[in-house]
A and B are shown apart, each in its own frame.
Chain A
Amino acid sequence: MSVETPYQFDRQVITQLSQGLQEPDWLLNSRLEALELISKLPLPKVQQTNIQGWNFTNFKPYSEEKAIQLHELPENVKSYLFDEDNGNILVQKNSNVVFTKLQDEWAQKGVIFKDLSKASQEHGDLVQQYFMTQMKKDDHRLAAIHATLWSGGVFLYVPKNVEVSVPFQSLFWATGENVGVLPHILIVAEENSRIEFVANYLGENQVTLNNSVIEVFVGQNAQVRVATINNLSESAVDVTYRHAHVGRDGKMEWIIGDLSEGRIISDNSSKLQDQGGIATVKAVALGVGKMRANITSNMDHWGTYTESDIQVRSVMKDEASSILNSITTIEKGASKADGQQSGKVLMLNPKARGDANPILLIDENDVTAGHAASVGRIDPIQLYYLMSRGVTKEEAEKLIIFGFLDAVISEIPSESLRKNIIRVIEGKFQS
């Protein structure tokens, strides 16, 4: 079979692609199985957002790129990276990983940080054990498209007891007409390990699609922090599914900056499988133009004494619209669990829209949970107060907006990352 688009991806194209990358057979078979599913599966159910008309399939499935050095990156792309000399850095341009650097110190401790395609050849068993086990190819049509056509991506493996003090940075840079990027990021943090991973998704020049997946496995007592910044232009449909599986006393921290200007599905799910696991989400979204965003956070408590906290702040300018869904589920038996969430939308223009839906699904008595949600506009009296001290209206608005986002931004532990997010947001206010 084939998918009906100007860019055909049928069995032959997929097979060539996979064999060209020297992928193991199991991976080729996985792609071909997923291909069969695309037309059979419905789009994901996304609350309060009509995604039927969004372009998920019309893109160049593969465009080959050559290896480069960091200094060859355009300045606006490179500006997302920090500590380039001492960092662990991976850059993907369109379909290919074009730059990878892992500091020797970590390689010697058994850390693997490379292109997922390559990793599937070199560490096939390890990759196969985890790949697409949280996000499954039959979840929905977008998952099947991803499983069929993913390319590049990251495999990050951290052995037991290894604490990596330097963040792993990745940059997914899409550029060109009708380009699609579909990276798959697979992170395995073994017992007692500790890592921080940053993913930047950038798209310019009529890029069409980002369909990316992140799967994280947090081992017992391990700590993983994953930060994502998505900044694709208005032409793009930007889909990011993030999944984490948290083991006993493990900790998963998501930091999410949804700053793309087109159509956005931003979904994060954390499964707190065992006792004492913790997961947090700190997300900020900024919408300009006609951006449409659906930002969903799922926390699923199975273990006793598990804790979760979702903090989402969304600022909508112009005619932008964002729906914030926060869903905390506490399963029967997850006693002493604690689930907290707060979702807030600030609308700056009369045509901006937003909604915040707090959902608590609790099937256990002995738990604590709480939620807060609000949708509002800038208070003219606050503006008056600030302006009465001499600051201009623009400056006063900026103070109020950054004040609104502060609850999330000030909690971002890495200063470089915090500055990056602030820089991108400030840039959008100047345009």
Chain B
Amino acid sequence: MSVPKLTIKDLHVAIEGKEILKGVNLEVKGGEIHAIMGPNGTGKSTLASALMGHPKYEVTSGSVTIDNEDLLEMEVDERARAGLFLAMQYPSEISGVTNSDFLRSALNAKRGEGNEISLMKFIRQLDKKMELLEMDESFATRYLNEGFSGGEKKRNEILQLMMLQPRIAILDEIDSGLDIDALKVVAKGVNSMRDPEFGCLIITHYQRLLNYIKPDYVHVFMQGRIVKSGGPELAERLEAEGYDWVKEELGIEDEAANPSV
């Protein structure tokens, strides 16, 4: 298989007529882990949702391709089957649908008709991955995210990631609300995915997560675009000194004057 590649060019996105993303450029390839950091309300999560095709977000200009296919032309499910995955900040709760039934439907949707995974093989895989994520086996039969704590939902997102084996994954604030032990477990799950055929984009406020998942590239997000890129050392400096020096360097006046999603 070829090396996966997600290419974002000059992406502009609006929500209810208000422009949030103002020209995002980024390329994520297989084997790479990218981190996007930035203050609250600068559009990081908007980028994640727009790439997945959230119904509320409208792409006004720019292009996104996955493996040279036009991502923006695809429906949400087609994007997933093309190899994109988004671990969501606020996953939906679906009553009456068990975790394992849903995972099997999703897995089979990707594998296609006539190539469905056998039940035994599915259960073996699921057991193995739940064990790695230190999830109680009861999660398999519980309804999808219903009544899950914040931390349980995050683990469940990572479980889906590991089961579905996407080519490109976006993790949207997967660390928020996690205690240090849970954070380590989630990181262990993501690290187990590292592979030349897997590219990952991590969106986070905090450098903390990056202690456990070492990024190859770090990008600073402000005012709806990437304003600075570097290596892992950039994350460390942001953690130590905050964002003010970046603003100063780039002549950004007041990020808070542009509150948004």
Contacts and interface: CB of A to CB of B under 8 A. Distances in A.
Do A and B form a real pair?
Answer: yes
Interface of A: 379-382, 384-393, 395-396, 399-400, 402-407, 410
Nearest to B163: A389
Nearest to B80: A390
A365 B101 CA distance: 45
Given A391-B77, A395-B105, 5 more contacts: A388-B80, A389-B85, A389-B164, A399-B101, A405-B96
Nearest to B77: A387
A391 B92 CA distance: 15
B96 A390 contact: no
A381 B57 CA distance: 12
B55 A384 contact: yes
A126 B75 CA distance: 65
Interface residues of B, number: 28
B81 to A, nearest CB: 5
Contacts of A391: 77, 105-106, 109
A353 to B, nearest CB: 22
Contacts of B92: 379, 381-382, 384-386
A395 B113 CA distance: 13
B81 A390 contact: yes
A395 B88 contact: no
A410 B143 CA distance: 13
A405 B80 CA distance: 27
B45 interface: no
B52 A390 contact: no
Contacts of A390: 77, 80-81, 106, 109-110, 164
Contact of B97 (A380, A384, A392, A403): A403
Contacts of B53: 384, 388
Contacts of B75: 387, 393
A402 B80 contact: no
B94 interface: yes
A386 B55 contact: no
B156 to A, nearest CB: 12
B91 interface: yes
Contacts of A396: 77
Interface string B117-161: 000000000000000000000000001000000000000000010
8 contacts: A386-B92, A386-B102, A388-B80, A390-B81, A392-B109, A395-B105, A396-B77, A402-B97
A393 B74 CA distance: 13
A372 B79 CA distance: 38
Contacts of A385: 88, 91-92, 94
